[in-house]
Structure 1
Amino acid sequence: VYRLTTALYNSGVKGSTVEEQANVCLALLMGYSASFIDHGEKQKHIQEVLDRCWDILDALPASLLKLRLLTACYGEVFDEPLADEGRVIINSWDSASLTSDQQEAIAEFQNVVDNPYLWEYIEE
């Protein structure tokens, strides 16, 4: 996963539409998040992707894609306004007619919000 994510990052692919850009950023953030490997550049790459995300999020309409990107960004920076925006999107959906993709995205969002330090162990 790390090798493929780094290859995508190094390819310079950014996407031509805001949705394509969002999908590339989402793939990069998810790929780096899924891998524990770091050859010294991982955090720099993540920060550069996050910097791109701020403009993309402003331009992206409220949607499933935006919720997923907000979730991935929140999982990196734990900035509460990102979670608030995710909640607004979720609350705008009709809970009686959610698609399986929406249900999955809501569950992932809730998991990241409820467990912000998923990989850290706290000694008591």
Structure 2
Amino acid sequence: MDSNSSSLFSLAHHLLTYGLDGSPIYADQFARLNRDVYERAIELYNTRGTTVEEEAELCLGLLVAFAATIYDNGSKQEYVQNVLDRSWEVLPKLSPSLLKVRLLTYCYGEFYDESLAKEAHEIINTWNREELTLEQAEIVEELKDFEENQYPWEEVEE
């Protein structure tokens, strides 16, 4: 099950970043990737991790998948809320880690509770800034993006 949730996260993350490297976006590939991510998320939605880390990885993969996909069977927001509820159960049990920062960040990205961002920053501040892994640097940037643009689908007048 652990490889399924990691695979879902990787696939959903690929969808979120599709085309950001400057490569062309093809409609058929984009639609297929969206469908694959959404279908895999629905398949894994009712499963549970056997450990705290597996449950956290599953919640993370599901949150990223639902955020990344354009599909909605009419229950997507209910799914997201249920995954957030599962995340609240698992977050206090997780040790400070990249996984915890990722889950905090994507939970924050759903409803912008400042305490989530604060906890993520507390963990990030323990990392050596000179030796960040690619994954650490990516989540630092993603958290920053969420914090700077809390209304991504709305035009905010200043």
Paired positions, count: 122
Q: In structure 2, do the counterparts of structure 1 residues 63 and 114 end up closer, same or farther at CA, with 3 Å as the change threshold?
A: same
CA shift digits 1:41-87 (9 cap, x unpaired): 10111101100101111000110000000011001011000000011
SS at match of 1:31: helix
SS at match of 1:92: coil
Shift of 1:7: 1.9
How does the TM-score come out when normalised to structure 2? 0.73
Which consecutive unaligned segments of at least 5 residues does structure 1 have?
none
Structure number, greater radius of gyration = 2
Shift of 1:3: 2.1
Correspondences of 1:51-90 after superposition (within 5 Å): 51-90=85-124
Shift of 1:6: 1.5
Shift of 1:123: 6.3
How far, CA to CA, are the matches of 1:91 and 1:77 in structure 2?
23
Percent identity for Structure 1 against Structure 2: 48
Correspondences of 1:31-70 after superposition (within 5 Å): 31-70=65-104
How far, CA to CA, are the matches of 2:147 and 2:38 in structure 1?
24
SS at match of 1:117: coil
Matched, 1:105 2:105: no
How far, CA to CA, are the matches of 1:110 and 1:86 in structure 2?
11
